[in-house]
Amino acid sequence: MGSLAKKIEEQLERLKRFEPLEIDPDPEISGVLLSDQIVYYARNHHLIEPFDIDDKLKPAGYELSVGDEYFLSGEYHNLEDRVVIPPFEVAVIKTKEIVRLTRFMIARWNIRVKHAYAGLLWVGGPQVDPGYVGNLFCPIYNLSDKPVTLARNDPLALMDFVKTTPFNPEKSKSDPEVFKKYPFPPKRVVLQQYSIDDLRSALFTRAGRKLEEFEDSIKALETRFVTFTQISFSIFALVIALVAISSRSGAEATLITASFLGPFTLWLSIAAFLMTIFSYLQWRTVRLVSERYGTFMAARARTAQSLLRRYWWTGFVVSIAIPVLAGFAVYLWSKPYFSELAQRQTDRDRLEQSLAKTSDDINRSLANVEALKADTLSKLENLRSEIRSMQPLRIQVGPVQPPPRK
């Protein structure tokens, strides 16, 4: 912005060119000035500079526009194009026009209705004293939850002018304590002289920090919920695997699995449901408080959050107790049925063992018969071989020769 002293000096030179008018040229006219009187005082007595008769003049007032400087978030800025006022933040905006009120005239001003509907709240004094000369500085509070943008030269506020009782210059000199006179030039002519360096919106700064803390808390809750969900699915997959393994086990294992699988799954569902509900309620409660009521409800928000956190742990403990008790009850209730199944299984096993033994005996008998059969066939084959090997006896028949004579 350059040197502040030089800026003040230049502004004083600009304001000293014309002193405020003291004697009313037309004292018979009183009340709020209409547009023709505003034009008269603007053209002849420098009431408003610069003066735009075409766009800014109204039937009983004049629109002041956004100037070239503003103060926001603890810093002074030149306004080259536009200014963005964050939610719940305060900005001080300099008007483009220099107002030079006469000594017998006050001005009243307020922010335009369209800006009020956008959430901007004007927090300045509505009256400008007679004899004031200089730019006006408009403190604006953004009450909405969205940023509001103002461009340079945009219409900002509407000002009307009202005549007072006649001004007596002699009386102001003779009795200055009773007949007050606004100093000329004013003591403060630039924005930096208003000592607003520490001007902050408590709602913006404190609530902003609270919102950051709430966002961190929400992220932590989301992380906790995601972790719990992953663990739940892992446990559920493990339970399915255990069920598949136990399906091949005995009746007692089946009884235990059937007794606790359902309650354990119920516990997972209840725990996930409770964690989701209470996490959402904590997030929603804090968000509603911060959005609607600001920091003055922070204590109640923390109390509500603490209460919900206690309920969260209570629900978690209850969700563990319910499946344990339910599992034990199911175990006691279904034990006779599974005992009968176990007895049937035992009888079936004994029958299977008996049948297996008989089958083994039969198989051994068949094996012995087969061995005897093979031995008999072998002996028969040997006998055939012996018979075949025997030669048949041959007997010759013919005439009998007499023995030879001696």
Residue 130 neighbours by CB under 8 Å, 6+ apart: 20, 101, 102, 103, 104, 105, 106, 164, 167, 182
CB 123 within 8 A of CB 139: yes
Q: What is the pLDDT of residue 254?
A: 56
Number of structural domains the chain divides into:
2
Q: What is the pLDDT of residue 339?
A: 72
Q: Where are the alpha helices (DSSP H) in 142-250?
A: 169-174, 202-246
d(Cα 303, Cα 295) in Å, to the nearest integer? Answer: 13
* Nearest of 229, 254, 233 to residue 244 by alpha carbon: 254
Residues 73 and 178 in one domain: yes
Residues 21 and 79 in one domain: yes
Residues 173 and 251 in one domain: no
Residues 186 and 251 in one domain: no
Residue 334 within a domain: yes
Residues 185 and 227 in one domain: no
Q: What is the pLDDT of residue 331?
A: 64
d(Cα 264, Cα 6) in Å, to the nearest integer? Answer: 80
Residues 131 and 246 in one domain: no
Show the domain range for 125: 4-200
Domain end: 323, 345, 362, which one? 362
Q: What is the pLDDT of residue 296?
A: 42
Residues 209 and 352 in one domain: yes
Residues 260 and 171 in one domain: no
Residue 403 within a domain: no
Q: What is the pTM of this model?
A: 0.53
Please report, to the nearest 10 degrees, the dihedral formed by the alpha carbons of residues 259, 261, 265, 270 taken in order. 20
Give me 200's structure tokens. Answer: 């902050």
Residues 223 and 153 in one domain: no
Domain end: 200, 234, 263, which one? 200
Residues 257 and 351 in one domain: yes
Rounded to an integer, what is the distance from CA 188 to the centroid of its chain?
A: 46
Chunked in runs of 10, what are the mean pLDDT values of the chain (406 residues)?
A: 83 93 91 95 95 95 95 89 90 95 95 89 85 94 89 95 92 83 91 80 60 62 60 60 54 57 62 63 55 50 64 65 67 68 75 81 81 81 77 52 60
CATH number at residue 139: 2.70.40.10
Residue 340 within a domain: yes
Residue 368 within a domain: no
Residues 86 and 191 in one domain: yes
Residue 6, CA distances (Å) to 11, 12, 14 in order = 9, 10, 12
**Are β-strands 48-49 and 57-58 bridged in parallel, bridged antiparallel, or unpaired?**
unpaired
Q: What is the pLDDT of residue 256?
A: 58
d(Cα 203, Cα 171) in Å, to the nearest integer? Answer: 47
Q: What is the pLDDT of residue 260?
A: 57
Domain end: 152, 180, 200, which one? 200
d(Cα 144, Cα 36) in Å, to the nearest integer? Answer: 38
Residues 181 and 223 in one domain: no
Q: What is the pLDDT of residue 173?
A: 82
Please give the helix or strand (H or E) that residue 388 lies within, else none.
Answer: helix 298-389
Residue 164, CA distances (Å) to 34, 171, 401 in order = 15, 16, 201
Give me 301's structure tokens. Answer: 């928000």
